[in-house]
């Protein structure tokens, strides 16, 4: 494989990962009045995601995919926090 072909594939892969990550950016959508601990955890996930995105830019996205994988895991964490809040809502529970 030529160097040019490798670079082209790397750029295409990075672009695809960026699209996937943008589609699942963590958001703050848990009601802090109802679930303050889950809402705070979600806020920290969003903050961590932004910090990693800045690190990617600072390093010209040359982190061998690890930062991108971390962001994917944060997106997954964010979804799980939302599901936890919804499960608590369904069970009729709220923070004391």
Question: Is-contact 47 22, C-beta < 8 A?
Answer: no
pLDDT number for residue 4:
76
- pLDDT tens, residue by residue, 8-24: 777 777 666 555 545 58
Cite the DSSP H helix spans in 1-96. 3-23, 36-58, 66-90
Q: Is the pTM of this model over 0.85?
A: no
* pLDDT mean over 50-62: 93
Q: Give pLDDT, residue 36.
A: 97
**Sequence spans of domains, the chain:** 3-90
Residue 53 pLDDT > 60: yes
pLDDT band at residue 45, thresholds of 50, 70 and 90?
very high
């Amino acid at each position: 494989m030529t160097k040019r072909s490798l670079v082209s594939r790397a750029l295409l892969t990075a672009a695809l990962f960026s699209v996937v990550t943008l589609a699942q950016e963590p958001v703050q959508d848990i009601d802090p009045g109802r679930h303050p601990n889950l809402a705070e955890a979600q806020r920290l996930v969003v903050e961590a995601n932004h910090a990693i995105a800045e690190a990617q830019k600072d390093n010209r996205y040359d982190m061998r995919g690890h930062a991108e994988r971390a962001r994917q895991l944060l997106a997954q964490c964010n979804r799980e926090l939302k599901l936890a809040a919804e499960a608590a809502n369904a069970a009729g529970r709220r923070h004391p």
